[in-house]
C-alpha cells in the first residue's frame, strides 16, 4: 500500500524543489527529487482512486488518512470544520502537483511523462469543476479558500475564472475584508484577487487592521508572525478556546508570512521569466494605496532592485539589473522597456 499523502504538507517534496529551481536555475535539485515527486503523486492518486468511479477518481477525499484541509481558517471555529474542507484543498493540490511535475518533466526532457502528467492535470481540473462547482464559477460550498485555489492554480478558466473571482471578492467584502483562509489559501489570496481584476479588494485586505488580518498582529504589538490570526486579543490575552486543538498556538510560526511573496512579485513586481533570473521582469502593481515601494532580491547573477514612487501625477521607477541578465520593465501605461545589465530610471505620467 502506498505511503499516506497529505495535501500541501506532503506536497513540499514537489513545491520546494521547483521553487528552488526557479530561484537558482539549478536543474540538479529537480533531477534528484524527480523520483520522489513521481512516487508521492502516485500515492496521492491511489488515495483519490480508492473506492471511486468515474470523475470521482480524481476527487482527493479522505479515507483512512489524515487531511488538514483549510487548516486554522478563522471563519470557522473548529478543527473538524477546517479538515472538513479537505476535498477542495486536496483536489486543488492534486491538480497543481500534476502541473508542476509536468513542468519538471519538460525541464528534464522526460517526454512521455509530460503527456502523462498533463493528462492527470486535465482530468483533475475537469473533476473539480464538475463535482465541486456549479459549472459557472461558483463552488458548491463557498469559503475563501474554495475560490482562491482554483483561481490561482488555473482550475478556473474563462468565464468560470471571472465569476470565481467575483464570488471571492463578494465573500471578502461580506467579511469586511478580513482574511478567512487557512494555511493552503493564505499564500495565494492576494494573487487570486489582484491577478483577476480585484486589485482594490486585495489592497483593502492587505491593509486591514481588524482581526483577522496581517496588520492586526502589528496593531496589537506582534513582532513575529503568529500561527493563529486571533492568537491574542487587543488586551494581550490569549482566548483560543475549545476548537479541538487543545489550545494550540505559536507566536513564531511563519506560514501566514507567505504574503511576502506578493510584496516581491506584485508590489515590487520582481519575477523570473527564466529560471535563475537570467531573464526576469519588473512589473509593479501600482495602486493609490502606496506612494513608494522598494525591494531587492539576490540572484545568482547579483542583486536585483526595484524601487518606485508616485509624486502627484508622476510615476518613477529605478531598477538594477545584474550582469548577464535581461529585464523587462513594465510601466503602468503598458509600455515595456527591455534592458540589460546596469541601473535605469524611467518615468511617466499616471492617473488613478
Listed residues 234, 261, 288: the one ending a domain: 261
Residue 4: inside a domain, yes or no? no
Do 213 and 344 reside in the same domain of the chain? no
pLDDT at 254: 87
pLDDT at 65: 60
Do 247 and 299 reside in the same domain of the chain? no
Do 189 and 282 reside in the same domain of the chain? no
Domain count of the fold of the chain: 2
Residue 104: inside a domain, yes or no? yes
Do 18 and 145 reside in the same domain of the chain? yes
Listed residues 261, 290, 310: the one ending a domain: 261
Do 213 and 92 reside in the same domain of the chain? yes
Q: What is the CATH classification number for the domain harbouring 65?
A: 1.50.10.10
Do 21 and 133 reside in the same domain of the chain? yes
Q: pLDDT in tens for each of the 352 residues of the chain?
A: 676 778 999 999 999 999 999 999 999 999 999 999 999 999 999 999 999 999 999 999 876 567 999 999 999 999 999 999 999 999 999 999 999 999 999 999 999 999 999 999 999 999 999 999 999 999 999 999 999 999 999 999 999 999 999 999 999 999 999 999 999 999 999 999 999 999 999 999 999 999 999 999 999 999 999 999 999 999 999 989 889 999 999 999 989 999 999 999 999 999 999 999 999 999 999 999 999 999 999 999 999 999 999 999 999 999 999 999 999 999 999 999 999 999 999 999 999 8
Q: What is the CATH classification number for the domain harbouring 287?
A: 2.60.420.10
pLDDT at 62: 75
pLDDT at 241: 83
Residue 1: inside a domain, yes or no? no
The alpha-helical segments, DSSP class H, found in the chain are: 12-24, 28-49, 79-83, 86-108, 111-132, 144-152, 158-174, 189-194, 199-206, 214-219, 260-262
Residue 310: what are its φ and ψ, rounded to 5°?
A: -125, 120
Q: What is the DSSP letter of 281?
A: E
Listed residues 233, 261, 289: the one ending a domain: 261
Distance of CA 347 to the CA centre of its chain: 31
19-38 as b/e, with b when 16 or more CB fall inside 10 Å?
Answer: ebbebebeeebbeebbeebb
Count how many residues are written for the chain.
Answer: 352
pLDDT at 5: 78
pLDDT at 1: 62
Do 254 and 277 reside in the same domain of the chain? no
Do 225 and 190 reside in the same domain of the chain? yes
How do 326-330 and 270-272 pair as beta strands? unpaired
Q: For residue 110, what are the domain limits?
A: 12-261
pLDDT at 222: 93
pLDDT at 276: 97
Residue 166: inside a domain, yes or no? yes
Amino acid at each position: 500500500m502506498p505511503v499516506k499523502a497529505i495535501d500541501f504538507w506532503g506536497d513540499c517534496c514537489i513545491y520546494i524543489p521547483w521553487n528552488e529551481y526557479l530561484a537558482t536555475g539549478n536543474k540538479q535539485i529537480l533531477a534528484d527529487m524527480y523520483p520522489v515527486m513521481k512516487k508521492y503523486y502516485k500515492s496521492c492518486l491511489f488515495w483519490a482512486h480508492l473506492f471511486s468511479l468515474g470523475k470521482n477518481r480524481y476527487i482527493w477525499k479522505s479515507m483512512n488518512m489524515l487531511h488538514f484541509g483549510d487548516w486554522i481558517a478563522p471563519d470557522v471555529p473548529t478543527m473538524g470544520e477546517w479538515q472538513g474542507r479537505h476535498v477542495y484543498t486536496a483536489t486543488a493540490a492534486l491538480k497543481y502537483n500534476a502541473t508542476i511535475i509536468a513542468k519538471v518533466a519538460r525541464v528534464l526532457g522526460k517526454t512521455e511523462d509530460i503527456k502523462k502528467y498533463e493528462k492527470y492535470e486535465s482530468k483533475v481540473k475537469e473533476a473539480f469543476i464538475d463535482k465541486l462547482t456549479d459549472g459557472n464559477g461558483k463552488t458548491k460550498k463557498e469559503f475563501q479558500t474554495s475560490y482562491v485555489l482554483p483561481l490561482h492554480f488555473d482550475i478556473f478558466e474563462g468565464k468560470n475564472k471571472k465569476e470565481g473571482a467575483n464570488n471571492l471578492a463578494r465573500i471578502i467584502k461580506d467579511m469586511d475584508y478580513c482574511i478567512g483562509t487557512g494555511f493552503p489559501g493564505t499564500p495565494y489570496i492576494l494573487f487570486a484577487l489582484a491577478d483577476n481584476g480585484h486589485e482594490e479588494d486585495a489592497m483593502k485586505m492587505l491593509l486591514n487592521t481588524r482581526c483577522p488580518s496581517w496588520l492586526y498582529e502589528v496593531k496589537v504589538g506582534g513582532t513575529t508572525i503568529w500561527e493563529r490570526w486571533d492568537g491574542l486579543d487587543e488586551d494581550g490575552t490569549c482566548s483560543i478556546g475549545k476548537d479541538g486543538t487543545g489550545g494550540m498556538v505559536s507566536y513564531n510560526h511563519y506560514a501566514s508570512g507567505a504574503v511576502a511573496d506578493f510584496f516581491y512579485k506584485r508590489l515590487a513586481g520582481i519575477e523570473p521569466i527564466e529560471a535563475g533570473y537570467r531573464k526576469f521582469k519588473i512589473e509593479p502593481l501600482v495602486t493609490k494605496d502606496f506612494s513608494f515601494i522598494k525591494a531587492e532580491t539576490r540572484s545568482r547573477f547579483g542583486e536585483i532592485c526595484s524601487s518606485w514612487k508616485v509624486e502627484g501625477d508622476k510615476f518613477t521607477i529605478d531598477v538594477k539589473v545584474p550582469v548577464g541578465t535581461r529585464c523587462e520593465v513594465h510601466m503602468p501605461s503598458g509600455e515595456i522597456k527591455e534592458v540589460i545589465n546596469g541601473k535605469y530610471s524611467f518615468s511617466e505620467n499616471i492617473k488613478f
